[in-house]
Amino acid sequence: MAERNPAERDDNLLDIRNLRIEAKVYPPGEEPKTITLVHDVSLTLKRGKVLGLIGESGAGKSTIGLSTMAYGRGGVRITGGEVVINGRDILKQGKRGVRALRGREVCYVAQSAAAAFNPAHRLMDQVVEAAIGHGTASRAEAEKRAVALFKKLSLPDPENIGNRYPHQVSGGQLQRVMTAMALCSQPDLIVFDEPTTALDVTTQIDVLAAIKDAIHDTGVAALYITHDLAVVAQVSDEIMVLRHGRLVEWGGTRQIIKEPRQEYTNALVSVHEIEHREQNPAGTPVLSVKDVTAAYGRSHVKVLKNVSVDIYPGQTLAVVGESGSGKSTLARAITGLLPPEQGSITFAGRTLSNALAQRSKADLRELQMIYQMADVAMNPRQTVGTIIGRPLEFYFGMRGRERDKRVAELLEKIEMGKGFVDRYPAELSGGQKQRVCIARALAAKPRMIICDEVTSALDPLVAHGILKLLLELQAEEQVAYLFITHDLATVKSIADSIAVMYRGEVVRYGPKSKVLAPPFDDYTDLLLRSVPEMEIGWLEKAISGRRMASAGN
């Protein structure tokens, strides 16, 4: 809390005027060029208020958030405008002045607390570091304050949790410790940069509630950055919608979510459920998993316990659960990457051998996978044509013009034109990369594709497009999907049947209409209640209505 003029008290804490931010980019095979990330954005924030910054990736929301600390990641530079905090333009302060501001007047809460904490130091030392470094508190005072904050953020064992190292604390807890770290310096402004995005949906709700209470009780102002409108609606007073580094709309939370004035805001606000009529199980299942039990290494902890599910041709089974529930392990067991200890897997009438090495080429071809991280699932030094052409060569022996023709057809199918054949993955957007991965899976003419969180890393509108594409392709090719996700909204739009997994077991399984209809078991109830709704006051209602506490706590 720097020297503050009493006359300023009622004035704006933060006043950003015509902010312009640029970055130097190095596109492959081209001259480096300067691009503008933020185009003349202005905003103001009063003391104790919360402004939500929302938009898709590349909208410039994090960049704007970090500009309040005069910080630019990588080659990002603030090239124009003013950022006035507590009456001073911090862009004119020089290095020393900026250091005096960071960690004292403005603090930052990062998306991944697990990465943002230094693994070599105890939590307490990191939490009090800024307060002590700026001389605003003695160590004893700062530690007392930290313990009080741990209590307020309802962390377990608040007196001693500070003695732990980051790896000894769960992700949801770390995110709250990071919030405590930001609050410990008693700043005027906190920048929350997607603080709950990396968490499980059931954990997110608790962290969100803790952050909201802490903001309310300490009276700190906040910039809350997220791509999830439903989340930001729970904590903000006002919401600013950004796109491509420009302001789209700025208004009160109620106005933005109830009466959006811009078309883009409307697209974000409207619910993107795809009408997908459930198909009834018909014929013999293409894949039948029976009583599969699996563990990593020689561990006694079973990651899968007697899992049995069936998938029918041309249909989708969605596997839902939070991290650690065993849903990705199920995919590994089916593909043979993790041979099951017990149980059998039948695919297209054949019993699959447990180990990958003993499976025939047809087994491999007819069972394809698409991954969450499209950019690491492709060789960055191969062109799109080579990536999609590879399964054609490997499984069908196609060469030359025949292969090129088929690659072009596949690109057509994923709604990407011919111009993409010679591009490298780095030159594609996130959605386009995922489309190429889909085309690569389709190239093998599979009977079934395992989709492992394929839309989780994508912006909502892009994810929507991918889901629609997957459904169209299913109708055309009669391919079955095993769709792994933690997102129940996605499940509603794509699944025919659903398996809910919890700690390695299938706790609920059946057709979509049955699984998503009451009466619910406690875990499914928790999952359903934890999905944020675009409704003011949803958070409080959801917390009070829960029947069981989330596991990440």
Partner 1 sequence: MSSPIVKLVAQRIALGLLLLLAVSVLIFAGTQILPGDVAQSILGQSATPEALANLRAELGLNDPAWVRYFKWLGGVLTGDLGTALSSGQDIATSIRGRLWNTLFLAFAAAVVAVPLAILLGLLAVRYRNGPVDKIISGLALASTSLPEFFIGYLLVFFFAVKLQWFPGISTVYDGMPFLDRLKAIALPATALTLVVLAHMMRMTRAAILNVMQSAYIETAELKGLSPFDVIRKHAFPNAIAPIVNVVMLNLAFLIVGVVVVEVIFVYPGMGQYLVDHVAKRDVPVVQAVGLIFAAVYIGLNIVADIAAIIANPRLRHPK
User: What CA–CA distance (Å, rounded) separates 524 from 214?
Assistant: 29
Considering only 18, 138, 168, 513, the residue that binds partner 1 (CB under 8 A) is: 168
Task: Please state the closest distance from residue 496 (CB atom) to partner 1, in A.
Answer: 40
Please give the backbone phi and psi of residue 110, each rounded to the nearest 5 degrees, phi first: -85, 165
Q: How many residues does the chain have?
A: 553
Of 156 and 537, the one with the shorter C-beta distance to partner 1 is 156
Q: Are 374 and 436 in contact (CB under 8 A)?
A: yes
* Subset of residues 145 to 164 that bind partner 1, contact rule: CB under 8 A: 164
Please give the backbone phi and psi of residue 423, each rounded to the nearest 5 degrees, phi first: -85, 155
What's the maximum distance between 2 C-alpha atoms anywhere in the chain?
Answer: 79
Task: Please state the closest distance from residue 111 (CB atom) to partner 1, in A.
Answer: 9
Of 73 and 381, the one with the shorter C-beta distance to partner 1 is 73
* Subset of residues 432 to 491 that bind partner 1, contact rule: CB under 8 A: none
Q: Are 172 and 211 in contact (CB under 8 A)?
A: no
Of 65 and 532, the one with the shorter C-beta distance to partner 1 is 65
List Cα–Cα distances, 247 to 47, 61, 195, 256, 398, in angstroms.
22, 10, 22, 13, 50
Of 117 and 347, the one with the shorter C-beta distance to partner 1 is 117
Q: Is 553 in the site for partner 1 (CB under 8 A)?
A: no
Of 37 and 130, the one with the shorter C-beta distance to partner 1 is 130
Task: Please state the closest distance from residue 99 (CB atom) to partner 1, in A.
Answer: 4
Task: Please state the closest distance from residue 462 (CB atom) to partner 1, in A.
Answer: 25
Task: Please state the closest distance from residue 477 (CB atom) to partner 1, in A.
Answer: 41
Considering only 11, 71, 353, 421, the residue that binds partner 1 (CB under 8 A) is: 71
Task: Please state the closest distance from residue 2 (CB atom) to partner 1, in A.
Answer: 12
Of 65 and 326, the one with the shorter C-beta distance to partner 1 is 65
Q: Which of 348, 346, 330 is nearest to 338 (CA)?
A: 330
Task: Please state the closest distance from residue 307 (CB atom) to partner 1, in A.
Answer: 27
* Subset of residues 83 to 142 that bind partner 1, contact rule: CB under 8 A: 98-104, 107-108, 110, 112, 115-121, 126, 129-130, 133-134
Task: Please state the closest distance from residue 149 (CB atom) to partner 1, in A.
Answer: 16
User: What CA–CA distance (Å, rounded) separates 322 from 486?
Assistant: 6
Please give the backbone phi and psi of residue 160, each rounded to the nearest 5 degrees, phi first: -115, -10
How many other CB atoms are there within 10 angstroms of residue 69's CB atom?
20
Cα three-residue angle 171-176-182, rounded to 5 degrees: 125
Of 66 and 229, the one with the shorter C-beta distance to partner 1 is 66
Task: Tell me the one-letter amino acid at 10.
Answer: D
Q: Is 69 in the site for partner 1 (CB under 8 A)?
A: yes
Kind and range of the H or E run holding 368: strand 367-370
DSSP, residue by residue, 499-518? EEEETTEEEEEEEHHHHTSS
Residues in contact with partner 1, counted by CB under 8 A, come to a total of: 30
User: What CA–CA distance (Å, rounded) separates 531 from 537?
Assistant: 14
Interface residue list for partner 1 (CB under 8 A): 69, 71, 73, 98-104, 107-108, 110, 112, 115-121, 126, 129-130, 133-134, 164-165, 167-168
